[in-house]
Structure 1
Amino acid sequence: MTQLEQYISTYFSVTLEDVSKISSFFKPITLKKGDYFLRCGRYSERLGFVQSGILREFVLVEEVEVTKWISTAGYFAVDLSSFVFRQPARWNIQALTDCELYVIEIGEYSQLEKVVPNWPTLEKQFISKCFSVLKDQIVQHLSLSAEERYQMLYAWNKELFNHVPLQYLASMLGMRPETLSRLRRKSIL
């Protein structure tokens, strides 16, 4: 079972037959470090599941790159508003390392409900989960101190600190790079 199939069977109540049907719509692609999966202003025509590697979702605000999320193996990569509501993407999605993804094109995605009868329910669960994760991020930014946000990210995935430039992690955590460096030094001592 692929990591994508494991994700589908873990987060959704579907039969193994449906897992197989859903995953058959996803095709493997490779991105090289620096390649874009999506560029701001374009329409999101595909949904990607990260099999390996690291992707960064970011936007340019007044000539400053603001990182929203770092996607690692086992996570989806998409500008959900663009993909679902067919509006220009607000976010860039770029490979920070060489990446392997499973990708479903928008046309194939719309065919899922024809082969998986309860797809509308599953899609609703998926979108709800995406918004729930986003809501949790907002609550963390509003209610936790910079040190608490750093500690949560480090506990969640300390490998990021070995593979992702610190300015991207600092941006995702809502702090300046100097603050992140100070917090890292403090936690090492």
Structure 2
Amino acid sequence: MNNSASNLSTQSFSQLIQGYFGDLTHEELLTVSSYFDEEKLRKNDFFTRTDKVCDKLSIVKSGILRVYALSDGKEITQWIATENFLITEVLGFFFDQPNRWNIQAFTETQLLTITKTNYLKLCSEFPKWNEIEKRFIVKCFGMIEDRVFSHLAMTAEERYDLYFKQNKALFNQVPLQYIASVLGMTPETFSRIRKRRTENS
């Protein structure tokens, strides 16, 4: 296995993974980091494509990736991943099913990547990983629940305000129709809300 991720400072790698995988000792961190490799994507390169089976999971060091699919000839942006986000296609990586989503680099992107093969080795050779994985999955479900709640219980304006508060810089980095799609809005609704918020600021 390539130990390029191990060549990063422990502190740097720790900052990227501790939030997802919980607290690790220095020795455990070195063990986990040895399974990750550095990966670079050029703008418009695909991390994975619809109908393929995703075989890697990555932490975004820098850059922006868009998760999207085509439906009735239209693109639906499901998520926009930025620095420190975890990125994979869940159906492909965890269940070996064809991907539902394309994941494409919107900018030049740097990743810390673990392949499915190395992920399985890590699960088998580092017993504590099973506990870490459970905590990680619980966190993922919490994020999904928050998103479902926002779509069911929040108004379009409230969803806009929350996303803007959490991702302000992104509004100047990607086409706004992508953000509108993430928020479950038409571009026209998004534009009306944005105009009101701009006028009132």
Give secondary structure in 2 for the equivalent of 1:110: helix
Q: Which amino acid aligns with 1:76?
A: L
RMSD: 1.4
How do 1:31-110 and structure 2 match up within 5 A?
31-110=41-120
Q: Quote how far apart the aligned CAs of 1:105 are.
A: 0.7
Q: Quote how far apart the aligned CAs of 1:184 are.
A: 1.2
Indicate if the aligned counterparts of 2:16 and 2:59 stay in contact, CA closer than 8 A. no
1:27 aligns with 2:41: no
Q: Quote how far apart the aligned CAs of 1:182 are.
A: 1.3
1:120 aligns with 2:120: no
Q: What TM-score comes out, normalization by structure 2 length?
A: 0.89
Indicate if the aligned counterparts of 1:8 and 1:19 stay in contact, CA closer than 8 A. no
Q: Quote how far apart the aligned CAs of 1:25 are.
A: 1.1
Match of residue 15 from structure 2? 6
Indicate if the aligned counterparts of 1:32 and 1:97 stay in contact, CA closer than 8 A. yes
Distance of 2:173 and 2:196 partners within structure 1? 20
Q: Which amino acid aligns with 2:95?
A: F
| Alignment equivalent of 2:141, drawn from 131, 134, 139 | 131
Distance of 2:130 and 2:110 partners within structure 1? 27
- Structure 1 spans left out of the alignment, 5+ residues: none
Match of residue 154 from structure 1? 164
Sequence identity (%): 42
Runs (4+) of structure 1 exceeding 3 A deviation are 1-4
Distance of 1:3 and 1:62 partners within structure 2? 43
Q: How many residues align?
A: 189
